[in-house]
Amino acid sequence: MSAQALRKTLIVFAAIGVCLGAYLTYVHYSGVTPPCSIKGNPCSQVQKSKYSELVGVPVALMGLIGYIAILASLLAPDSERMRFATMAFALGGFGFSMYLTYRELFTLHKICEWCVGSAVIITIIMCLSVWRFLLGDTPSPGPAEATLDQSAPAGVA
Amino acid sequence: MSSVDEDQEDLTRKERREQARAQRKAVEEAEVASAARKRRLGQLGIVAAVVIVAIVVILIATGGGSSTPTTTGKASEETVALVNSEIGGIPQNGNTIGNPNAPVTIQYFGDLECPVCREFTLGALPTIMQQWVKTGKVKIEYKSLETATREPEVFKTQQVAALAAGKQNLMWNYIELFYHQQGEEGSGYVTEAYLQGLAKQIPALNNAKWMSARNEAALSSQVEAEGQAAASAGFNGTPSFLIGKTGGGMQKLEHISLTDPAPFNEAIEKLLKEG
């Protein structure tokens, strides 16, 4: 997979993550019961447990902020620094997701489909962003650069 | 040597120099790439280490391990013995404990996951049981009001589990065990295993009948009706109490203490004096 294809794939997954984080943040603050196919709606139980907040901040909101940070680092012009930022945010998000999964399985003894969905997305983002970071200097044009390249006269770009 | 031969020799030398330069460049580029790869791997390792440390700190800060309270072993035997010493021998009927003809009735509105109810149940209640319920002057009805339990379905399940034990006139054993072995609020400790673990600690309870009773729609309706009754009385916290002469009007018992039975004693004595 080329660096550019990696970046585009990551943008898609980060965008899905932002949508998921936004929905779960809405669920947390509105108190609505999220749809869940498992009997007894463990999703609602997980999201109303004391582990749904960390130092008073909803973990859903933390997830939303994390996905936005990942997406922002991907939409910024490509550079080693931005690839590092994406990788660092993704690793942090993956670690936090593993902590939440541990709480679900071994503390609450309940599994939330929405949380599993987010864990899968952040795991994919983490793997791809680490791969992209280690791939190194095969820069793909950022949106701003791409626009410049397309508008440049033939033979100049 | 002709000038043509000299030109060819110069060209070969030039080519050799270029080849050597290209090789040096390739080696340098490989070294630079290798150094960059090592640097990136180092950065990756540092980030991974920071993330691991942060997660371990969060795990420790939020309390590690399972929060399921123990319902087996020596601690369980001691709790069962304590509960038996507190309420053993007192007649029970459904959600009521005490002499059916007791002149005074107290209605205790509680949530089994409520830590404040636990404080009352382990604090002031044993003295009230000893002084007034065992002596046949007061009977206590336990009623459900959701406060601490965050999930309505879990609330109904646990309260119905207690009412189902009441079908065998053992509801108060179940309630007492629940409060004594209560887990951390909001930690999701109320699982099916926990509820069954409580039931198993009541030797007199027929487990098959208890499991069957848990499916009775009437018990679910009773939990709902008690919640509505609490709302009608203006209660929004637990424990809350109504007190009155049996069969007569009930009034709110306010300014209670969780550990001191004195406010209860005063209200009961007053009602008993009124005859």
- State the average pLDDT over residues B16-42: 90
pLDDT at residue B2 in the model? 59
Residues contacting B211, CB < 8 A, separation 6+: B164
Give the nearest partner residue to B186 out of A41, A49, A130, using CB atoms: A49
Touching check for B48 and chain A: CB below 8 Å? yes
Residues A9-31 pLDDT 10s: 999 999 999 999 999 999 888 87
Question: Can you read off the two tokens belonging to residue A130?
Answer: 């680490």
User: Which is nearest to A107 in space by CA: A58, A57, A56, A42?
Assistant: A42
Min mean pLDDT across A11-25, B7-21, B110-124, B144-158 is at: B7-21
- State the average pLDDT over residues A116-142: 85
Question: What one-letter code names the amino acid at A68?
Answer: I
Model confidence at B74, pLDDT cuts 50, 70, 90, reads confident
Residues contacting B207, CB < 8 A, separation 6+: B196, B199, B200
Helix or strand holding residue B219 (H, E): helix B217-232
Examine the pLDDT at B33 and tell me if it is beyond 90: no
Model confidence at B82, pLDDT cuts 50, 70, 90, reads very high
Question: Can you read off the two tokens belonging to residue A7?
Answer: 């970046």
Contacts with A, B 159-198, CB within 8 Å:
184-188, 191
Touching check for A33 and chain B: CB below 8 Å? no
Touching check for B37 and chain A: CB below 8 Å? yes
Residues B151-162 pLDDT 10s: 888 999 999 999
Model confidence at B203, pLDDT cuts 50, 70, 90, reads very high
Q: Which residues pair with B243 in a beta bridge?
A: B106, B251
Q: Taking CB atoms and an 8 Å limit, are B44 and A102 in contact across chains?
A: no
Please answer whether residues B83 and B120 qualify as being in contact, where contact means their C-beta atoms are separated by less than 8 angstroms.
Answer: no
Examine the pLDDT at A151 and tell me if it is beyond 50: no
Examine the pLDDT at A153 and tell me if it is beyond 70: no
Please answer whether residues A6 and A128 qualify as being in contact, where contact means their C-beta atoms are separated by less than 8 angstroms.
Answer: yes
Identify which has the larger pLDDT, A127 or B1.
Answer: A127
pLDDT at residue B87 in the model? 95
Q: Which of B38, B40, B53, B185 is best to mutate for the A interface (most A CBs within 10 A)?
A: B40
Rounded distance, CA A79 to CA A76, Å? 9
Q: Which residues pair with B109 in a beta bridge?
A: B143, B240
Q: Which of B47, B68, B190, B191 is best to mutate for the A interface (most A CBs within 10 A)?
A: B47
Identify which has the larger pLDDT, B65 or A129.
Answer: A129
User: Which is nearest to A47 in space by CA: A114, A2, A107?
Assistant: A114
Residues contacting A139, CB < 8 A, separation 6+: A3, A78, A79
Rounded distance, CA B143 to CA A52, Å? 29
pLDDT at residue B243 in the model? 96
- State the average pLDDT over residues B155-176: 97
pLDDT at residue A132 in the model? 94
Query: Which ranges of B62-151 does DSSP label H, i.e. alpha helix?
Result: 73-87, 115-122, 125-128
Using CA atoms, how far residue B98 sits from B92, B134, B151, B197, in Å, is: 6, 7, 31, 26
CA distance A34 to chain B (A): 12
Identify which has the larger pLDDT, B255 or B246.
Answer: B246
Considering chain A, what is the average pLDDT of its residues?
84
**Beta strands B104-110; B138-144: pairing state:** parallel
Q: Which residues of A touch B47 (CB under 8 A)?
A: 87-88, 91-92
The 3-class secondary structure across chain A, one letter per residue, is: CCHHHHHHHHHHHHHHHHHHHHHHHHHHHHCCCCCCCCCCCHHHHHHCCHHHEECCEEHHHHHHHHHHHHHHHHHCCCCHHHHHHHHHHHHHHHHHHHHHHHHHHHHHCCCCHHHHHHHHHHHHHHHHHHHHHHHCCCCCCCHHHHHHHHHCCCCCC
Model confidence at B208, pLDDT cuts 50, 70, 90, reads very high
- State the average pLDDT over residues B217-239: 94
CA distance A91 to chain B (A): 7
Question: Can you read off the two tokens belonging to residue B214?
Answer: 């848990």
Give the nearest partner residue to A49 out of B40, B44, B187, using CB atoms: B187
Q: Taking CB atoms and an 8 Å limit, are B37 and A41 in contact across chains?
A: no
- State the average pLDDT over residues B171-187: 92
CA distance A19 to chain B (A): 24
- State the average pLDDT over residues A82-109: 92
Residues A24-61 pLDDT 10s: 999 888 877 788 777 666 787 787 777 888 988 999 99
Return the residue of B nearest to A43 by Cα.
Answer: B151
Using CA atoms, how far residue B58 sits from A96, A102, B64, B147, in Å, is: 9, 12, 9, 28
Question: Can you read off the two tokens belonging to residue B44?
Answer: 């990756």
Examine the pLDDT at B169 and tell me if it is beyond 80: yes
Touching check for A3 and chain B: CB below 8 Å? no
* Cα dihedral sign, B95-B100-B101-B102: negative
Q: Tell me the percentage of chain B whose pLDDT exceeds 90.
A: 71
Examine the pLDDT at B64 and tell me if it is beyond 60: no
pLDDT at residue B131 in the model? 96
pLDDT at residue A149 in the model? 41
* Cα dihedral sign, A92-A95-A99-A100: positive
Identify which has the larger pLDDT, A147 or B110.
Answer: B110
pLDDT at residue B11 in the model? 67
CA distance A151 to chain B (A): 32
Return the residue of A nearest to B189 by Cα.
Answer: A108
pLDDT at residue B139 in the model? 97
By CB atoms closer than 10 A (0-12, 13-18, 19+), residue B101 is exposed
pLDDT at residue A30 in the model? 85
pLDDT at residue B70 in the model? 67
